[in-house]
Amino acid sequence: MIRTSGLVKYYGRVMALQGLDMTVPPGAIYGFIGQNGAGKTTTLRILAGLLLPDGGAAEIAGYDVVRHPRAVRGVVGYMPDFFGVYDDLRVGEYLLFYAAAYGIRGQRAARLRDDLLELVELGDKRDAFVDTLSRGMQQRLCLARSLIHDPQVLLLDEPASGLDPLARVEMREILKELCRLGKTIIISSHILSELADLCTHIGMVTAGRIIRQGLLHEVLAAAHRRNFIVRCYGSLVPALAVLEAWPGVEIINATEEQVEFSLSNGPAQAAALLREMISSGAAVTHFAETQQSLEDTFLQLAREGGEA
């Protein structure tokens, strides 16, 4: 659905995108993750047709963003990270205005307005002035606006920024509903955990390059180092000896009570390691995997990407 190849963008002499390759399959919710300044907003603005790339190519639903900007606008709904609303318009008028700007008029526009306000749970606010809405409501209204022309692709730049937890949950539910409706969605964020239970796919961007992308669980599994904690009854020395000799083990922390280590291999190796420890005479009372946070995974990936 969306493909970029070798996307390059300069701001003056700063290279914001250094050959970004991104592939988003149809129907995916693609989490676009990176730190501030990594190039997320630049990429989304290029895809929305608001910026011209200095090199490379980008294609949405078969249309090249440079050569067919008009067609791209028809299939893309874009919600920027910072946006404003016309404070002198009512909610309904606001949506009708954008509907007309997309060439939708009359009965169809009115029906769309009502359906979309229902979808983003603002049905009862139709006649309220836009500036009386809360931040979360304005965010949802802006989402409704980006859906007014029934786009196949949604580009959401930090849609959850500035929202309270309840509003985030509401936003998440709406996005899941949109995914069920068959939309392809790109959501950018600098907080991985915010997206982890929402996205089907993920792309991690650092310094203008995608360092890893694919299905969420595959990316995480590939990047994941399993961390374990071992506790023994009595001395830890035999267990430590086994660990130090075992390939792929990295001891993170060893105290008198427990050893924390990471294992780069799969669960079969973990089982073999435990067997070896017991047979070497260690009285193991506790052998458990600790959950590595998504943020740690991301930071680790970012480090690896930076080194590469």
Residues that bind another protein (CB under 8 A): 3, 5, 45, 48-55, 57, 59, 62, 64, 66-71, 73-74, 76, 78, 80, 82-89, 93, 96-98, 100-103, 142, 145, 149
Name the residue with tokens 């005479």. 281
Residue 198 C-beta-side C-alpha neighbours within 13 Å: 30
**Distance between CA 192 and CA 37 in Å, rounded?**
16
Q: Is 70 or 180 the residue whose CB approaches another protein more closely?
A: 70
Nearer to another protein, 153 or 302 (CB): 153
Residue 99 Cβ, how far from another protein at the closest point, in Å? 8
Extended beta strands in the chain, E state: 2-11, 14-24, 29-33, 55-60, 63-64, 76-79, 153-157, 184-189, 201-206, 209-215, 226-232, 249-254, 258-263, 284-290
In the complex with another protein, the residue whose CB is nearer, 52 or 271, is: 52
Shortest reach from residue 141's CB to another protein, in Å:
11
Which residue number, 63 or 228, has a Cβ lying nearer to another protein?
A: 63
What is the Cα 280 distance to its own chain's centre?
A: 45
Least gap, CB of 68 to another protein (angstroms): 4
Taking the C-alpha atoms of residue 29 and residue 183, their distance in angstroms, rounded to an integer, is 8
Least CB distance from residue 204 to another protein, whole Å?
22
What is the closest distance, in whole angstroms, from the C-beta atom of residue 75 to another protein in the complex? Answer: 9
Residue type, position 206, single letter? T
